[in-house]
Structure 1
C-alpha cells in the first residue's frame, strides 16, 4: 500500500502572495486614506496590517512569538508599501522554504497547528485582504476566483455563522448577497463584510 504525499500548500500560498503583492503595488499615495471593508482600517492601515501579517508569519516560522509584532506596521513612506511587502515576503519565503517546516507544530496567538495548516490559513487571509484592497481601490477585475473559492470553502469549515456574535471577533455575521453573486462577493459577505 502506498500513501499519498502530504499536500504542499506553498504553491497556492505563493499565488495568494502574488495577488496581494499586485494589489499592494497598485495602491497610489492618493488612495491611502480611502475606506476599506475592514471597519478598523483605511487603505494605509490595511497595507500596514498585510505587511505585519508577513512579519508575524516569518516570526512564527522561526519559533518566535507573533504577539511581539504589532497588528499594523507604520512608518512606511507613502510610496514604500510595495517595497515593504516585497522585503517581508522574501523573509517569509526564506523561512518557509524548508520542507520540514510544513510538519513542525507552529504556535499562533489563536491556535497551535502544523506548518502546512498555518500556510493554508494565511493563504486565505491574504486572499481576503486582496479583495479588501481591490474593493477599496476599485481593482476587483484583477482577482483570482479560484483562490476565493478555496478560501470560502475553508472559512465555511472553521468559521461557521453560528459561532459568531454581534459583539465582535474576527468575523461579523454573514451578510446576505444574491445567489448569483461572484465568488469574491460571496466570500466577503460570508466574513461579514458589506460588498
Structure 2
C-alpha cells in the first residue's frame, strides 16, 4: 500500500453511502438473510455499525480487541441514526493527519493507522453491498468505492491465504463483465 495513501476520504464516502442506503430500511427487512451467510440483516447491521465504532475507538487510541464489532440494542427505526452517530465519531477520531502513520492494534495485529483504516474501508463497502442486496438491490452504489475496496482486498487478502483462521471463504468465480461490487463480493468469498 502506498505510504502516502490517505484512506479517510474513501472511508467517509463509504460511511455516507451506508447512511444513505439505510434510509431505505424498513423494520420488516431486519430478520431477512443476507449474502454474509452467518448474519441476518439485524445482526449484519449490528456488526457493521459495531466495526465502525471499533475503528473509531482505535483512532481515539484504543486497542481493537477491547471493543466488540457489534452494537447493543438499536431501535428498529433508528439504524440511520446509529450510522450518523458512528460516522460523526469516526470522522472526529481520524481527523488528525498524524494518526495515519501511528502504529495501532487491530484485530489482525499491529498496523499503521493508514492500513487499519483501509481495512475498514473494505469492510464498510463490502457490508454495504451485503445490506443493499436485502433492502435495495436496485440501488446504485458508488463504483469507485468498490474498485478501491477490491484493490485493498486483493492486497491484504490474497486468494491463496484462506483458511479456518481467515474470516473469508475461497474466491468465488464471477462473470468476466461483472461490476466492481460483484467482483469484490466474489473475492471475499460470497456465493453469488
Q: TM-score, normalised by structure 1?
A: 0.90
Moved over 6 A (4+): none
CA-CA distance at 1:6 after TM superposition:
2.6
Instruction: Report which of the two structures shows the higher radius of gyration computed on alpha carbons.
Output: 1
> C-alpha distance in 2, partners of 1:66/1:118?
10
CA deviation map 1:55-91 (0-9, x unaligned)? 1112111221222322321311100111111111111
Deviates further, 170-179 or 139-148: 139-148
8 Å Cα contact 1:35-1:41 kept in structure 2: yes
Indicate which of 53, 68, 71 corresponds to 1:73.
71
Q: Tell me, in whole angstroms, the C-alpha distance in 2 between the residues paired with 1:175 and 1:138.
A: 23
Number of residue pairs matched?
191
Q: Which residue of 2 aligns with 1:17?
A: 15
Structure 1, unaligned stretches of length 5 or more?
A: none
Aligned Cα root-mean-square deviation (Å): 1.8
Counterpart in the other structure of 2:38: 40
Describe the superposition over 1:138-171 as per-residue Cα deviations: whole angstroms up to 9, x where unpaired: 3343201111111112211221121113x46311
2:187 corresponds, among 185, 190, 194, to 190
Alignment partners' CA distance in 1, 2:152 and 2:71 = 27
Provide structure 2 residue ranges, at least 5 long, that are not aligned to the other structure: none
Per the alignment, residue 115 of structure 2 pairs with 117
